[in-house]
Each structure stands twice: as C-alpha cells, then as structure tokens.
Amino acid sequence: MSEKLNQLKAILGEVSDVGHAAAVLGWDQQVNIPPAGSEARGQQLGTLGKIAQEKFIADEVGGLLEDLKKEFDGADPASDEAALIRVASRNYAKAKRVPPSFVVEQALVASKSFEAWVEARSKSDFSIFQPHLEKVLELVHKYISFHPKAEHPYDTLLDDFEPGMKTADVKAIFDELRPQQVELIKAIAASKPVKDDFLYKKFNEKKVWDFSETIVAKFGYDFNRGRQDKAPHPFQTSFSVNDVRITNRFESDNPLATLFSAMHESGHAMYEQGINPDYERTPLEGGASLAIHESQSRMWENLVGRSLPFWEYFYPQLKKTFPSQLGNVNLKSFYKGINKVEPSLIRVNADEATYNLHIMLRLELEIAMVEGKVKIKDLPEIWNAKMKEYLGIVPPNNAKGVLQDIHWSGGAIGYFSTYALGNLVSAQLWERINKDIQGLDDQIRKGNFSELLGWLRQNIHQHGQKFEPQTLMQNVTGSKITPAPYVRYLKKKYSEIYGL
C-alpha cells in the first residue's frame, strides 16, 4: 500500500477515534446523565469536537490528499483507495471552511438546548425551549455563511445529510408524491374504518420491552455487538462496527409502539453492523446517506414489521404473551389494526400513508426558518396551523406538537426530508429484493430473515459511504430515487386492507 495512504489513514483513524469518543458521551447524555451535568457535558463534547476538527483540517492532511489524488489518478473509482481519497477530500474541503471555535460553540449550545428541550417537552412549555432554538438557528445561519453560496441556503444543510441532493430535487419529488398520497388518504377516509382499540389497552412494560428484543434478535441485530437502552427519543448510535447501540422508549398510552421503534432502530443498527470492517476508522464507515440509512429502518419497521407474513409468525407469540389484551383479537384484525390509516399527532407513530405529510410539514418549516420567513416564537402557532391543513388535526399541546422531535435541539436542521426519502428508497429496494429472492414472504412467514439480511449486507451495508446515494441506487436498482415504487406499495397494501 502507498506510504502516504498509510499516513493519511493513521491520521483519519485518530479523528474517527475522537469522534466515536464524543458519540459515547452523546449517547450517555441521552441515556444516563443527570440534568445538572448538561453544561459540563457540552464543554467535553466541544473540546473533543475541536480536537477532531483541528486534527482533520491540518495542512498535513490537505497535503497528503493532494499528493494521493495525483498518485491514484486513473485508478478505478470504485476501488476502496479511490473512494477513500474522494470521500476524505470532500469532507476535508467542507470541514476546512468551519473554524474549530465554531465546533465548540455549537456543541455547548446543542448540549444546553437538548436539556431545555427535554424539560420543555415534559412540561409542554415551548417558552423554555424558544431561546435555545433561536441560538441554534443563529448558528445554523452562521454555518451556512462559511460555505460557498448555493442555489438555496438550505442546500448547504441538506448536503451534510444527503450528499449531492438539492432542495429543488426534494421539492420536485415531494410535489410528485404529495397529491398521490392525499388521494389515497381521501379514498381510505371514505371506506369502512378499521378497529384498533385493542392496541391501547394496558400492556406490561417489561414484557413489551423483552418482546421487542426478541424480534430484533430474530431479524439479525447482534446483541453481542449492541444493546438497547431507554431514552426520551429513540435513536441508534455507533462507536465501531462491534459496538452499535439502539435506544427506545415505552409510551403507556401507545404501548406497542415500542415494538416498532425497536424494529426501526435495529434497521439502522444492522446497517452499521454490516459495514465492511476494513472501513473502520476511515471516512468510509457509516451509511451512504441518511435517506439510505432511513430506508433500512423503515424497511424493517414497515415493509417487514407491519406485513401480514411477519405477524403470521410472531402474532401467536404476542398473543400468548398478552392473552387478556389480545385473546379475542384474530390475526387479520390485529394486522389491520397496526396498519390503520388515521391522521395522528406523533410523527414516529404515524401510519405509512400519512407519515410523509409529517415530513413535508417539517421541511416547509425548516426552509422558512432558514429563509428567515418565520420567527421562532411563532413556531407553535404555525405548526398547529399546518397540522390542521395537512392532516386535519390540531395538537392539544406543544409536547404533542412542535416539541415532539429532538432534531432541532441539536442543530440538525436539513435532516427531516431524508425520512421521507428513506421511505421511497425502502420500497424501491424492496421491489429489487423480491425479484432477487424468490419466496421472500414464505421465508418471513417462517421467521427466517437471514436471506433478506444477507441481500442487504451484500448490496447496501458493506459499502458504507463508498458510493454517493444516487450512485448506489443506480447500481442496485437501475434508477435514481423515485416515488413510483412507494406509491405502488401503498396502493396495493391499503387497497387490500380497506377494500379500495
């Protein structure tokens, strides 16, 4: 191997180590930390972020990258070496524009903002969070200013989560998708309603939690390289390919949501556990993009976890675990219940037909925030108005409205559209998978997920960040991201459930 490539990998490995150490502190902040520890934790995260930033943007790294571009000029662009140089160069160019002092400031603000969000959400009081979100948005604008002027300022943010994607691209996809989803929702609303009252009975928390772990272990989530803990908002985090963790929560008013959250987060985690180990401690570790990442979580949660074959296997076990709640509920009724379409307040619990409308709402608000067209103090009122417009319902309080998501507290503005894009990618991949794996439904019906996970490992997981998302989709499915497969999936599924 090239001597200079070895030198570069040594430095990048140290940068990765510092980043993973910060990730451990971030995980602990959401799982274990006492409220009073927030400020110190922010300082610790800021220091680690500064060290990683300074180490990565050092002139030595820039020089090595320039030399390696010349050394590997003409190399196969799909080779690991060429991909590493390409991705590292891209990340270096972006990071070089951001002063290390800003990284520290952002970490401190995000840490305080997270604690304020937790308190505001628990008290349903937006005023507690408002000044922190104002500071977060101020830093977002500052971050945008460090980068070359884009077609739209939101492009700079979106590119961090979905490389190569533009705001105009997302809007075009959503504009094509929205009317088709609205039409489907109207058709469902005009049909005979589905009963799901049995889902909201009292369920034992520990039994639900244990059942969730049974499911994801069966999927292939490796508990020898992971664990599930409680947090205010479910998430997945990775410290190495051998330490990939998920968190979850239990909602007494929606107890079985824990099962689907576990499926969702395990989808993310199995992606991380399946990345080529050779990419550890390099910029190729991690997922190709958040949309590709989200496709994995939504696939396991919905295309697998809300399918009839899945529950043909798992429902007898669930019924045996909760006989008093589900004893009189047959499989078909349960299946329809967990797939009931009904406008709802909480995004993470939304059904597949309405979920993307939650994302479109957030995207519109984020773009308006970045453009300076809305004031933070007016967000609750605007949120409620858009919920009424999009879903026909109004949150009874801010905890179930504008305060429900964690993302803005950490400055993750530019993120939300990837959730909807992930839905599209999941269905697009699913069509390819069903062509490649004969009798997949029968395998799922028997609780056998190994061939499905193997396909994902081979075609998606192992590649890490080697390919940009659109390139990866083109390679695997023959097309860039398109809404058509997702619309086909929704129409087929809900036509059967609702007799459309």
Give the tens place of pLDDT for each residue, 128-168. Answer: 999 999 999 999 999 999 999 999 999 999 999 898 889 99
Helix (H) or strand (E) holding 243: strand 243-248
Cβ within 8 Å of residue 209, ≥6 positions away: 228, 248, 250, 258
Cβ within 8 Å of residue 264, ≥6 positions away: 234, 297, 298, 300, 301, 348
Segments making up each domain of the chain, as ranges: 3-124, 167-498
Distance CA 179, CA 184 (A): 9
Within its chain, how far is the Cα of 216 from the centroid? 17
Residue 39 has a pLDDT of 84
Coil/strand/helix, residue 66: helix
Within its chain, how far is the Cα of 124 from the centroid? 24
What separation, in Å, do the N-terminal and C-terminal C-alpha atoms of the chain show?
60
Look at residues 274, 256, 258 and name the one whose alpha carbon lies nearest to residue 247.
258
Strand arrangement, sheet containing 236-240 = 228-230, 243-248, 236-240
Helix axes 484-498, 417-436, angle to 10 degrees: 80
**Strand partners of residue 246:** 228, 236
Residue 237 has phi, psi (to 5 degrees) of -145, 150
Cβ within 8 Å of residue 485, ≥6 positions away: 424, 427, 428, 430, 431
Structure-block tokens of residue 265: 């987060």
Is the predicted pLDDT of residue 1 greater than 90, yes or no?
Answer: no
CATH class entry, domain 167-498:
mainly alpha
Q: Which of 162, 265, 272, 301 is catalytic?
A: 265
Specify the pairing of strand 236-240 against strand 243-248.
Answer: antiparallel
Answer for the pair 259, 211: CB distance below 8 angstroms, yes or no: yes
Residue 38 has a pLDDT of 82
Length of the chain: 500
Eight-class DSSP state of 194: P
More confident residue, 35 or 352: 352
Tell me whether residue 265 is one of the annotated catalytic residues: yes
Distance CA 360, CA 386 (A): 10
Residue 94 has a pLDDT of 92
Structure-block tokens of residue 205: 């928390």
pTM above 0.85, yes or no: yes
Residue corresponding to tokens 């080529």? 276
Structure-block tokens of residue 335: 């299946």
- Mean local confidence (pLDDT), 227-245: 94
What percent of the chain lies above the pLDDT cut of 70?
100
